[in-house]
A and B are shown apart, each in its own frame.
Chain A
Amino acid sequence: MSAPSLAELVAERQIVITSGSGGVGKTTSAAVLAMEAAAQGRRAVVVTIDPAKRLADALGLGGEGIGNEPTRIDGSWPGELWAVMLDTKSTFDDLVTRYSSDPEQAERILANRFYRNISGALSGTQEYMAMEKLYELHHDDGFDLVVVDTPPSRNALDFLEAPRRLTRFLDHRLYRVLMAPTRGVMKAVNVAAQAFVRQVSKVVGAEVFEDAITFFQAFDGMEAGFKERADAVLELLTSPATSYVLVASPKRDTVAEARFFAEKLAEADIPIAALIVNRMHPHFTDEMPEALRERARHFEGTDLGGLYRNLADFALVAHREEEHLAGLADMVEPAPVIRVPFLQTDVHDLDGLAVVGDHLFDRT
């Protein structure tokens, strides 16, 4: 049985996650996949993290106040296209509000300085909130397909590990040490820990610890809810409803990163459903670069020499790009590999997305 094509993925799956390193056209690819689903008559929503400004404008995400809730994008497709620009902090705030036992608890947490730092800065928070958003949209009856553009990262599994990392953090045993000063009985037991805390406070300042203690106190009782949710998100991410599309460009370093991603996903038993390679140089000739170089040298100093030299240059680049990709393509087998050529202009409107779509879905 052959692997489904990209068009079939977009037509059949409920979740598509694009991953890859920064600067390879991941966001654009994600937007095009969602747009294709809309063209097929599905109701699709694309979640992006930090799109280039003009793409954001094209997707209707440029204005003030638009972002964390789905915005509908009008276009001539039978289905629906929606877009979300993830706001990590608001998504986290929503979670806190959902799992707090009463509005006062939520308020205490939201106002805490330590929480405000966590919600913006804890490593992996952005990844986790992207997955949280995915979960929420997946369970929204208004959408058939959710496409998520993951934050650029060195580790493909950051977003898979993020839910667990967060609950581990919230469940931290240090929490108990910090809580000790307020619990009389524990006080004696924790003399050593207290001394330790005092010492750390000397370096970073006492307020930091006070904020943290207040946060953990306010958070008391909410860990279970968070953990349950994290487990549910993780289950969804590893279920057959979700497929992963790896996005790369054919440069040596980005291919190396893509291979690293592919390895990590394979270790986690997650198959790659498709590989998109953006910014491929065109293939002008089947002749070997060295033969063309030879002719260029023979006619050096003439127009013909320049023309041959140029053809040799591009033959060499195309050759090298294919060489880089060969190993990667083997790794993702039997997933289809889709090559998108270097485009003469950057994508900044829906027409531009449509042009990329023609390449992705083989309509050129």
Chain B
Amino acid sequence: MDPAQFFTASRLVIVAGKGGVGKTTVTAALARAAAASGLSALIVEVEGKSGLAAMYGSPAFSYDEVTLAEPDEALGRAAVRARTLTPDEALIEFLEDAGMGRISKRLMTSGALDMVATAIPGIRDILVLGKIKQMERRRLADVLILDAPAAGHAISFLQSASGLADAVRLGPINAQARDVLDLLGDPARCQVVLVTLPEETPVNELVETAYQLEDRVGVSLGPVVVNGLYPELAGLGADPRAAAEAQGASLRDGEAASLAAAARFRLDRTALQAEQVERLREALPLPQLRVPYLFDADLGPEQLDLLAAAVLDGVAELS
């Protein structure tokens, strides 16, 4: 598939997955891949403190939008921007839009908000989603990428709209919830990309989340991203002594054992990973994008480019 076609299939991509699977890394890589295809990307974070800014070698960002990567016309590369969205800030904006700007401060300080938020579960989520819907409508970027809360929470986050449309029958909250439902239910506007590691528990949880999202939220699912796959490496099956002899090299004391043990470990884990990828394919009929494990160093712009390239390779293979 052509990357431009892939990234514009829906204007909002929601990246979701369990904690620790590299959701934020994948968000960053998807944005980088879109930008490399000439499409501007805007990343929206809802939890803050994710380390996303560091991956782009840029200072931390907040409610104000920042540019993580400048566009480069010579390379055909578009910009990557990012911002954080918190429920409190979304709420103030919502109240202002609803003509209640004057009392918004009082609402916050009196604790009335806490009470309202408690009385109507999901109200914080719907405010954030409502704001995202607004950003999507305004076409603030070619691709809007939402780094969603960790799975489990992601389901209740995305389910908040249908719950609220029922609980609050009238008024601006109801309208907001309906708009969000329209957004989530329209594959041309929104899709969810689930992220997992090629390991047993994360795969199980991903499959469960996928079905829950389809059944309960009715949102369309894009490809699944399998993160952290060991890259293939030739020569690991060879006997270290024989391999050294073939090169006329001599090994140091204990080196043959170290080389063999490390090779065995990688081969074993690669086999286990392949098993999990296969199990995921059988359990969930969705295309997969594979992102490699990086031994290199901590993630920076250079590593992000490698991950983005892997995403683009995967996209090219999609039918």
**Which residues of A pack against B, CB within 8 Å?**
21-24, 50, 52-54, 114, 117-118, 120-122, 152, 154, 169, 172-174, 196, 199-200, 202-205, 208-209, 211-212, 249, 251-254, 256, 282, 284-285, 287, 299, 302-311, 313-314, 316-317, 320, 342, 344-346, 348
Contact = CB atoms under 8 A, between A and B. Distances in A.
A122 B106 contact: no
A311 B265 CA distance: 10
Given A208-B119, A284-B262, A310-B259, 9 more contacts: A23-B20, A23-B21, A53-B204, A54-B201, A121-B121, A204-B171, A208-B168, A302-B243, A310-B263
B226 to A, nearest CB: 16
A205 B258 contact: no
Nearest to B200: A346
Given A205-B169, A302-B243, A307 B259 contact: yes
Contact of B19 (A118, A152, A303, A311): A152
Nearest to B272: A344
Contacts of B265: 282, 284, 314
Interface string B144-185: 000000101000000000000001111111000000000000
Nearest to A282: B265
A174 B113 CA distance: 10
B296 A120 contact: no
Contacts, number: 175
A81 to B, nearest CB: 22
A359 B296 CA distance: 28
A307 B111 contact: no
Interface in B232-272: 233-236, 238, 240, 242-244, 246-247, 249, 255, 258-259, 261-263, 265-266, 268-269, 272
Interface of B: 18-21, 24, 47, 49-51, 95, 98, 100, 103, 106-107, 110-112, 114-116, 118-123, 150, 152, 167-173, 199-201, 204-205, 233-236, 238, 240, 242-244, 246-247, 249, 255, 258-259, 261-263, 265-266, 268-269, 272, 295-299
B152 A50 contact: yes
A9 B261 CA distance: 35
Contacts of A211: 119
